Amino acid sequence: MIRFEDVTVTYDGATRPTVQGIGLSVQEGELMLLVGPSGVGKSTLLGAVSGLVPHFTGGTLRGRVTVAGRDTRTHKPRELADVVGTVGQDPLAHFVTDTVEDELAYGMESLGLAPDVMRRRVEETLDLLGLAGLRDRPVSTLSGGQQQRVAIGSVLTPHPRVLVLDEPTSALDPAAAEEVLAVLQRLVHDLGTTVLMAEHRLERVVQYADRVALLPSPGAPLTVGPPAEVMAVSPVYPPVVALGRLGGWSPLPLTVRDARRRAEALRERLAGIPYESPHESPYEDAGTAGPVPARGGGTSPSRRTPRLFRRRTPQTSGTRDTGATRTPVTHRPAVVEGLSVRRGRAEVLHDVGLTVAPGETVALMGRNGAGKSTLLSALVGLVPPAAGSVRVGGLRPDRTAPADLIRRVGLVPQEPRDLLYADTVAGECAAADGDAGAEPGTCRALVSELLPDIADGTHPRDLSEGQRLTLALAVVLTARPPLVLLDEPTRGLDYAAKSRLVTLLRGLAAEGHAIVLATHDVELAAELSHRIVILADGEPVADGPTAEVVVASPPFAPQVTKVLAPQKWLTVSQVREALRASGGPTGDPR
C-alpha cells in the first residue's frame, strides 16, 4: 500500500540527509508503528507518504514513494487527499473551519462527495469518535483530547485507505488515548485501513502494531520486524518491555497481560523482598519530605484544613508545635484552600485544597479539561481565584508583582517556547539573569549543567523539544523559586529525554524544591511523584501517596504496577534495585 524505495531526504541548507536509504513496504490493512528517538526523521518519513515532503516543505527527495500505486513525485498532496489522511502533531493547526461538524465535512467537500454520503459519514464518524454531543461546538473551545479526536475524525470521513498519524496520543489523557487507539484498531480490522503511525508513548501503542519500523539513530537504516523482535534491539522501549528485558523473557511481552502471565516467578521473588514505599526510595533521601499520609478524597474542606496544617508541621520546621495557627505556614511553597476559579459562567475549579511541602513532588492527573492547567495558572497568579485562597510562599500570586513572584514560583508552560523570546541561547540566559536579578552567568551555568553540549549561538527554535523544555526550565530556575510547576512536560519527549528530565527533577526535589507537575503520563508520575492528586471536573477526587493512588485506580497505574499488582512496585528501576539489593542474579529470576 505504501512503498518506499531507497528514499533519501535532504532539506535545503542541511549538510546531510535527514533520512537515508529507506526501503519500506507497508501492506494493506497493516498497522505499522514507526519508532525511534527524537530527531531521527520520523516526521519526515510520515510527511513523505502524504506528499507534503518534499512538495510543501522543500528539500530533495531521492528514490520513490508510492501510495496505492500513485507516485508522490507526480501527485501533489491534494491529489493524494482521497487515499491518504494525515493528522499532525498539533490538532489546532489542522482545523480549517470553525465548528466540529463542518470540520468533519471539510475533506469530503474538497473531494466532491455527494451530500447524502457526506451526511451519513459525518453521523457515523461522530458516533465512532464519541463526538455527537460536540457537533455544534466551535473547535477552539474543545479540550486537547476532543480536538485530537476531531482531527482524526476529519481525515476519517473521506474514507482514506491510508492513515498517517504523527503522535496521535501524546496530548491525550490515558482514557482518551485508549479511545483513539480503539478507533484505529477498529479501522484496521473492520475496514482494512492501512495505518502508519509515529508515537513516543510506546506503552500505549506497541501492542496494537502489526509490525514496527525502527529508526535507531539519524541516518541509520530502518529495522522492520514484529514488535517483540524489534523491541529487543530498540533504544526506545516501554516499561513492560524493560521488565521483560530485566527478567530475560523471550519473546518479550508487549502487553500487560503477556507480562503478567510470565511474571509469576518474579512476583514470588519480589514478594519476599520488603516493599520499599516510594517516599523512602533513594531519590528522596536528601529531601525534606517525610512520609505523606493518605488523605480521604471525601473530607469536607472545613475538616481538611486543620489536618493539612497539622500534617506538615514536622517537615517544615524542626520544632513541633501544637497550634494550627503558627506563622511558618506562610513559608510553605504552596498552600491552596477552598479554591474556586471561574471562566465566564463555568466553574473550572471547585473547592480545591492542596498543600505542597518543600522537596515534595506532586503530580496532578485527570482527564483533559479537568482543571490541571488552571490550577497551575492560579498558583502563578494568571487567573484570580473566585473564592478561596492561594498562597505561594505566603504571598497572593495574583496580587504580587511578577518580579517578586518569580522568586517564589516558576512555571514551565505546556509550550515551553512561550517563555523564550531571544534569538540565541546566550541572549535568553542574559535576559533571564536580568529578569531574576541573579548574578550574570547564573542561567548559563544552569544551562551548561542541564544541557552540556549546547552552543551559545543556537536559536531556541532549532533545539529539540526536550532541549527547549530544559532551556525553559533553566530560565525558570535562574530565580531559584522554591516551587517549580510544569505543565505536561513530557509531551513530545522520547524515553531518553524523559529519563534525563526525571533525573533533573529528582535532583531539584532533593535540593528542596517543591515540584508540581500536571501530566497525563502515568509512567512519569510513577517515577517522580511522591503524591498524586487526581482532578475530575475541577474537583480533587483522589489525593494520596503515589503507590496507593495508582494501585487503586488502574487508568492511572503504570505498567509495572499492573504487571506486579497487588504488590506496589511502580517502576522498573525500583524492581531492579530491589532485586540487586536482595542479591542474586538480576538477569533471570527463574
Candidates 102, 199, 488, 527: give the one binding other proteins (CB under 8 A): 102
Total chain residues near other proteins (CB under 8 A): 69
* Nearest distance in Å: CB 487, other proteins: 11
Candidates 264, 321, 418, 588: give the one binding other proteins (CB under 8 A): 418
**Contact of 121 with 159, CB cutoff 8 Å:** yes
Candidates 28, 56, 439, 552: give the one binding other proteins (CB under 8 A): 56
Give the C-alpha separation, 485 to 447, whole Å.
18
Question: Can residue 380 be called a binding residue for other proteins (CB under 8 A)?
Answer: yes
**Contact of 373 with 182, CB cutoff 8 Å:** no
Question: Can residue 250 be called a binding residue for other proteins (CB under 8 A)?
Answer: no
* Nearest distance in Å: CB 115, other proteins: 6
* Nearest distance in Å: CB 407, other proteins: 8
Give the C-alpha separation, 574 to 588, whole Å.
16
* Nearest distance in Å: CB 408, other proteins: 11
Count the alpha carbons within 13 Å of 410 in the hemisphere toward its beta carbon.
23
**Stretch (H or E) spanning 471:** helix 465-477
HEC string for 312-334: HHHHHCCCCCCCCCCHHHHHCCE
Question: Can residue 413 be called a binding residue for other proteins (CB under 8 A)?
Answer: yes
Return the range that interacts with other proteins (CB under 8 A); candidates 27-35, 192-200, 310-318, 472-480.
Answer: 472-480
Candidates 7, 22, 43, 94: give the one binding other proteins (CB under 8 A): 94
Dihedrals φ, ψ of 389, to 5°? -140, 150
Question: Can residue 98 be called a binding residue for other proteins (CB under 8 A)?
Answer: yes
Return the range that interacts with other proteins (CB under 8 A); candidates 118-126, 193-201, 235-243, 252-260.
Answer: 118-126
* Nearest distance in Å: CB 468, other proteins: 14
* Nearest distance in Å: CB 75, other proteins: 11
Helix/strand/coil for 582 = coil
- Choice between 377 and 529, CB closer to other proteins: 377
Question: Can residue 382 be called a binding residue for other proteins (CB under 8 A)?
Answer: yes
Candidates 13, 69, 136, 298: give the one binding other proteins (CB under 8 A): 136
- Choice between 421 and 585, CB closer to other proteins: 421
Q: 141: Cβ–Cβ under 8 A, 6 or more apart, which residues?
A: none
* Nearest distance in Å: CB 153, other proteins: 12
68: left (phi over 0), alpha (psi -120 to 50) or beta: left
Helix/strand/coil for 273 = coil
**Stretch (H or E) spanning 61:** strand 60-67
Question: Can residue 97 be called a binding residue for other proteins (CB under 8 A)?
Answer: yes
- Choice between 116 and 453, CB closer to other proteins: 116
Question: Can residue 71 be called a binding residue for other proteins (CB under 8 A)?
Answer: no
Per-residue mark of binding to other proteins, 255-284 (x: CB under 8 A):
------------------------------
Candidates 300, 401, 452, 455: give the one binding other proteins (CB under 8 A): 401
Question: Can residue 210 be called a binding residue for other proteins (CB under 8 A)?
Answer: no
CA distances from 474 to 60, 139, 414, 420 (A): 37, 34, 15, 11
Candidates 122, 197, 547, 575: give the one binding other proteins (CB under 8 A): 122
Question: Can residue 238 be called a binding residue for other proteins (CB under 8 A)?
Answer: no
Q: Virtual CA dihedral for 201, 204, 205, 206, nearest 10 degrees?
A: 90
Question: Can residue 100 be called a binding residue for other proteins (CB under 8 A)?
Answer: no
- Of residues 424 through 463, those in contact with other proteins by CB under 8 A are 431-432, 435-436
CA distances from 118 to 123, 190, 527, 557 (A): 9, 20, 47, 40
Question: Can residue 373 be called a binding residue for other proteins (CB under 8 A)?
Answer: no
* Nearest distance in Å: CB 278, other proteins: 30
Helix/strand/coil for 94 = helix
Question: Can residue 51 be called a binding residue for other proteins (CB under 8 A)?
Answer: yes
Give the C-alpha separation, 219 to 197, whole Å.
19
Q: Virtual CA dihedral for 247, 251, 254, 258, nearest 10 degrees?
A: -80
* Nearest distance in Å: CB 321, other proteins: 34
492: left (phi over 0), alpha (psi -120 to 50) or beta: left
Dihedrals φ, ψ of 5, to 5°? -120, 110
| Residues 414, 342, 334: CA angle, nearest 5 degrees | 60
Per-residue mark of binding to other proteins, 148-177 (x: CB under 8 A):
------xx--x-------------------
Question: Can residue 107 be called a binding residue for other proteins (CB under 8 A)?
Answer: yes
Q: How many CB atoms lie within 10 A of CB 341?
A: 23
Sheet architecture: strand order including 346-356:
346-356, 334-343, 387-391
Question: Can residue 110 be called a binding residue for other proteins (CB under 8 A)?
Answer: yes
Give residue for cell 487503586: 552
- Choice between 178 and 435, CB closer to other proteins: 435
- Choice between 41 and 381, CB closer to other proteins: 381
Q: Virtual CA dihedral for 43, 96, 201, 129, nearest 10 degrees?
A: -140
HEC string for 2-17: EEEEEEEEECCCCCCC
* Nearest distance in Å: CB 416, other proteins: 10
Question: Can residue 541 be called a binding residue for other proteins (CB under 8 A)?
Answer: no
Contacting residues toward other proteins, per CB under 8 A = 50-52, 55-57, 76-82, 84, 86, 88, 90, 92-98, 101-102, 105-115, 118-119, 122, 135-136, 138, 140, 154-155, 158, 377, 380-382, 401-403, 405-406, 410-411, 413, 418-419, 421, 431-432, 435-436, 475-476, 479
